């Protein structure tokens, strides 16, 4: 058996937090709760270099008691890394397009940063082209500064191809699958308003309905995602149990926490699964 803890969207810099001080407290919680693997599904900092430094420091604090793995969300991708670098094995903790087999179990953890293809904004497709979505993103969305050598739908196709290949390999190896990503894989989590306001356009950048189809077809058991700062209960959809354990924002403009301090909020959002 192994205890796997999952979280996402800690947003240390957006929330103006002292990550170095907090990681010591986080490490103690993980040790006290006998967590074997701690998986961070993106949006730790607005700079990939800072995210990597934090993960390495947390691993150092934990020693050999807990293995830490992380993905890059769109915020992590904003600085300190290129698309080409994100597609490499940057270090032993970086889980994008990689997997970890849990000893003495049938479980395999598969990670992929993910991306989006505008399919969650299909209610607008009759009046908007791919170029329209891309132009809107560059003008209004955080990701507009992120450089990439292809369109968003093409980038998501890379994600889908990588995921399908990883799932097939896991099936061949007779593994149960815990898939971790940052972006949203199911339409059920998307909020559509009754008009074409800002948020309906933003839905285009949330993820891809095609990823959920690949996960169901590929036999995934569990899937963790973030990006949306919501607090849903686990949901079984087409054979896959989905989790979102995002912490989210607590700023003077956006207050999404149920608690006044980060550690209390993180503790309530941290989910620990015992995999046997």
3-state secondary structure 81-145: CCHHHHCCCCCCCECECEEEECCCCCEEEEEECCCCCCHHHHHHCCCCCHHHHHHHHHHHCHHHH
Angle at 78 between CA 118 and CA 184, to 5 degrees: 35
Place of tokens 């796997």: 4
Please give the average pLDDT of every successive group of 10 residues along the chain, which has 276 residues. 97 97 98 98 98 98 97 98 98 98 98 96 74 93 96 98 98 98 97 79 95 98 98 98 98 96 98 97
User: Can you name the CATH fold of 2-275?
Assistant: Purple Acid Phosphatase; chain A, domain 2 (3.60.21)
Q: Could you give the CA distance from residue 127 to residue 40 in angstroms, rounded to a whole number?
A: 37
Check residue 123 and give its pLDDT.
66
Instruction: List CB contacts of 165: < 8 A, sequence separation 6 or more.
Output: none
Check residue 255 and give its pLDDT.
96
């Amino acid at each position: 058996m192994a205890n796997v803890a999952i979280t996402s969207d800690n947003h240390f810099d957006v929330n103006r937090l002292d990550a170095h001080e907090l990681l010591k407290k986080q490490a103690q919680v993980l040790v006290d709760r006998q967590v074997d693997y701690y998986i961070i599904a993106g949006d730790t900092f607005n700079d990939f270099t800072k995210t990597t430094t934090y993960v390495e420091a947390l691993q150092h604090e934990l020693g050999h008691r807990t293995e830490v793995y992380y993905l890059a969300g769109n915020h992590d991708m904003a600085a300190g890394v290129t698309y080409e670098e994100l597609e490499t094995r940057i270090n032993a903790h970086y889980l994008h397009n990689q997997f970890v087999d849990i000893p003495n179990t049938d479980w395999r953890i598969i990670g992929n940063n993910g991306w989006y293809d505008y399919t969650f904004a299909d209610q607008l497709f009759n009046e908007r082209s791919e170029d329209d979505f891309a132009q809107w993103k560059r003008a209004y969305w955080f990701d507009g500064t992120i450089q990439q050598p292809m369109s968003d739908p093409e980038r998501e196709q890379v994600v889908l191809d990588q995921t399908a290949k990883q799932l097939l390999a896991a099936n061949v190896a007779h593994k149960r699958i815990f898939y971790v990503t940052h972006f949203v894989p199911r339409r059920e989590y998307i909020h559509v308003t009754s008009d074409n306001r800002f948020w309906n356009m933003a839905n285009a950048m949330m993820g891809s309905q095609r990823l959920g189809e690949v996960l169901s077809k590929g036999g995934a058991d569990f899937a963790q995602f973030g990006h949306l700062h919501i607090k849903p209960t686990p949901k079984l959809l087409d054979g896959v149990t989905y989790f979102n354990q995002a912490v989210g924002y607590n700023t003077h403009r956006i207050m999404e926490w149920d608690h006044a301090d980060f550690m209390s909020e993180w503790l309530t959002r941290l989910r620990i699964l015992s995999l046997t």
